[in-house]
Amino acid sequence: MGKDSYIITLDSYEASNSQTSIILVLIALMLRLVFVLSKAEGQARQRLNQIKILTRAPTI
């Protein structure tokens, strides 16, 4: 009886451990996506500023 309950708790521990690792992987992917998007946004903003500078009428 004691042996069976130990096996059950071990199985539930392994299941929760795999769920935790899946959640950690998802969090890592989301952070990576946010980093890539913010980097792309920064590059787009820089490009937009360059275009504004190029198209600005020359002041004499």
pLDDT tens for the chain, residues 1 to 60: 455 555 556 666 666 777 788 888 899 999 999 988 889 999 999 999 888 887 776 665
pLDDT at 30: 92
Alpha carbons within 13 A on the beta-carbon side of 10: 6
pLDDT at 24: 86
Nearest one of 32, 35, 36 to 24, comparing CA atoms: 32
